[in-house]
Amino acid sequence: MGTWRDRLPERLRTAVRDRVAVDTRALGVFRLSLGVLLLADLLLRARDLRAHYSDSGVFPRAAAIELYDPLSFHLAVGDVPQLAALFALQGVVALAFLVGYRTRLATLLTWVCWLSLHARFPIALNGGDTLLRLSLFWSLFVPLGARFSVDALHREAPPERIASLGTAALLGQVLFMYGTNAAFKHMGTIWATGDGLTYTLRLGHFTTAFGEFLGTLPLVTTVLGYTVFVLWTLSPGLLLLTGWRRAVLAGLFVGMHVGMALSMHLGLFPAVVVAALLLFLPTPVWDRLLPPERVDRFRRPALEEFLRGLYPTLSTPALLARLHGHLRVVAVVVILVSLLFVGAFNAQVLTNRAGVGPQDTTPEPLETYGETLYLTQYWNMFAPDPLRKTGWYRLPGTLENGTTIDVARGGPVTADRPAGLDDLATQYPNQRWRKYLSNLRQPGYAAERELFLQYHCEQWNREHDTDLESIEFDYVTLWVTDNGTVRQGTDFLGSHTCAA
């Protein structure tokens, strides 16, 4: 009888295989890249361990459970030393993933760890977090340990390329990201005129020093704006093209994301996307970058013999074979259902934004499945049109002695731009705070704003002799125009009376 793939015409099978196949060297480098980014992510988050994850921070465990009821084992501890130990343990898991020791298990544990971490403090997640988490999920179904791993050193050399439903899903996730964002950009008016990047770079709270300089070159930003719009529109070519044409297109995307990283504060997002784009590089490129003879040079019989001792047989080969067969069936079902959810979810996000059709057509069981596995995704970055509002935060506070201060900066409250804030990006300690505070400005976050103000009350009273009696939260807005920014007004975001 044969499988359903065997019944397809040979030409069609070859065409599909060539487009979803991933070089095993690409999978290895992708794993190494993700591993480094995971460790970097942990270290960057650890800077705000108390503020973001402890019970004395902006989002205590009790509030997280009441407001979101998340599935997160990070809710098990709330003290900084315990959290530090948990982060260290999570780092060990990420290190096992990085070096490729028991890669399948390490990938599963890493995905669970980051799922939990994201659920613990969801208010500060960005597109990079989403793509990182989704990449880990789809990586469960591909042999990430085939190359450049501890696992690979005690096995026979893998095939040159892998073509499977898992590789198709991993590549497809990148297409979902670009395709959805491109559709959003086509709904707007600014990107199609080439002005999208120009307006984006005028948002001072995102822009780096290089981005500020780039913003002074209108012809360059217009050309680059058109390039982004056209490239994103052509993103299906990443899957449809093969060989060097695919490599050139992927290289253009890599170049654009490197440029974004240099001109805007986007956290790990550009690096995660570049890591995912490496999967699209075809075998001829890897033959140039990492020739087979260079890759195999590191295999040593003595080392391989030593590593075999680290891999004891846990059960009989027959049992493993039967288990492997069942797991393959489960994996295929999970991939297909997950792809169905991701496709339906992205389509629903687009139709909701366009205002056409019913607002929710995803079947409830499928929706529950996708939300439980945290497969939800929103790729509307700087689209349909770039943000037009920027500005700075203020935290006017009144001390017990009647003095009014700006709690955020320690000086007097002023309607003018605070001294030293010529660069609006400097008002945020880091990218995670930027995303968190930007979300607090949105409707529906009243409870989170109250917790934020309560945190500042407690922190001030702990560090100063004169207690804070009350505190307010507002945002001085600037409107981005064709010629720069214009003062628009002040958005009041809330107030809080500090406990005695």
- Give the model confidence (pLDDT) of 431-465 as tens digits: 999 999 999 999 999 999 999 999 999 999 999 98
Nearest CA-CA partner of 247 in 278, 270, 208, 206: 278
Residue 1 near residue 235, CB atoms below 8 Å: no
Buried (b) or exposed (e) across 169-178, using 16+ Cβ within 10 A?
bbbbbbbbbb
Identify the H or E element spanning 349. helix 317-354
What's the DSSP call for residue 151?
Answer: G
Query: Is 1's pLDDT higher than 50?
Result: no
d(CA 113, CA 427): 31
Given a cut of 80, whether residue 297 has pLDDT beyond it is no
What would the mean pLDDT of 50-67 be, rounded to a whole number?
Answer: 96
pLDDT band of residue 305 (cuts 50, 70, 90) is low
* Structure token digits, residue 355: 């205002």
Question: What is the pTM for the complete model shown?
Answer: 0.92
421 contacts: CB under 8 Å, gap ≥ 6: 392, 427
Classify residue 264 by its DSSP letter.
B
The three-class DSSP label of residue 145 is helix
Distance CA 112, CA 106 (A): 10
What pairs with residue 499 in β-bridges?
Answer: none
Q: What is the band of 308 on the pLDDT scale with cuts at 50, 70, 90? A: low
Supply the pLDDT for residue 353: 87
Q: Which amino acid, 38?
A: L
Query: Are the CB atoms for 177 and 377 separated by under 8 Å?
Result: yes
DSSP string, 160-215: SEE-SHHHHHHHHHHHHHHHHHHHHHHHSSTGGGT-HHHHHHT-TTTB-HHHHHHT
90 versus 11: the higher-pLDDT residue is 90
Confidence band for 321, pLDDT divided at 50, 70 and 90: low
> Region 16-26: what's the mean pLDDT?
95
Does 260 have pLDDT greater than 80? yes
How high is the mean pLDDT of the chain? 90
Residue 151: how many other CB atoms lie within 10 Å: 22
- CA dihedral over 61, 67, 68, 69, signed as positive or negative: positive
Instruction: Give the percent of the chain with pLDDT over 70.
Output: 91
> pLDDT per residue over 326-349, tens digit each?
678 899 999 999 999 999 999 999
Model confidence at 315, pLDDT cuts 50, 70, 90, reads very low
Report for 1-10, 154-163, 349-358, 364-373: range of highest mean pLDDT: 364-373
Cβ neighbors of 89 (< 8 A, separation 6 or more) are none
**For 193-209, what is the mean pLDDT?**
92
- Structure tokens given for 32: 């190494």
Residues with Cβ within 8 Å of 250's Cβ and at least 6 positions away in sequence, in order, are 238, 277, 280, 281
pLDDT computed for residue 35 by the predictor: 98
- Please report the pLDDT score of residue 197 as a whole number: 94
Whether 317 shows a pLDDT value over 70: the answer reads: no
- Separation of alpha carbons 304 and 22, rounded Å: 26
Residue 314's pLDDT band (cuts 50, 70, 90): very low
Q: Taking residues 472-487, what's their average pLDDT? A: 88
Task: Give per-residue pLDDT as tens, 116-139.
Answer: 999 999 999 999 999 999 999 999
Could you count the other beta carbons within 10 Å of the beta carbon of residue 135? 22
Does the N-terminal peptide bond of residue 384 adopt cis geometry, omega within 30 degrees of 0?
A: yes
Cβ distance 453 to 495 under 8 Å?
yes
Q: Are 156 and 165 in contact (CB under 8 A)?
A: no
For residues 136 and 364, what is the distance between their CA atoms, to the nearest angstrom? Answer: 25
The residue ranges of DSSP E strands in 345-415, in sequence order, are 389-394, 396-399, 404-406
Q: What does the alpha-carbon distance between residue 399 and residue 402 come to, in Å, rounded to a whole number? A: 5
Which pair of tokens denotes residue 489? Answer: 């007004």
The region of weakest confidence among 25-34, 99-108, 306-315, 327-336 is 306-315
Tokens 């943000």 correspond to: 387
Q: Where are the alpha helices (DSSP H) in 355-479?
A: 364-372, 431-440, 446-463
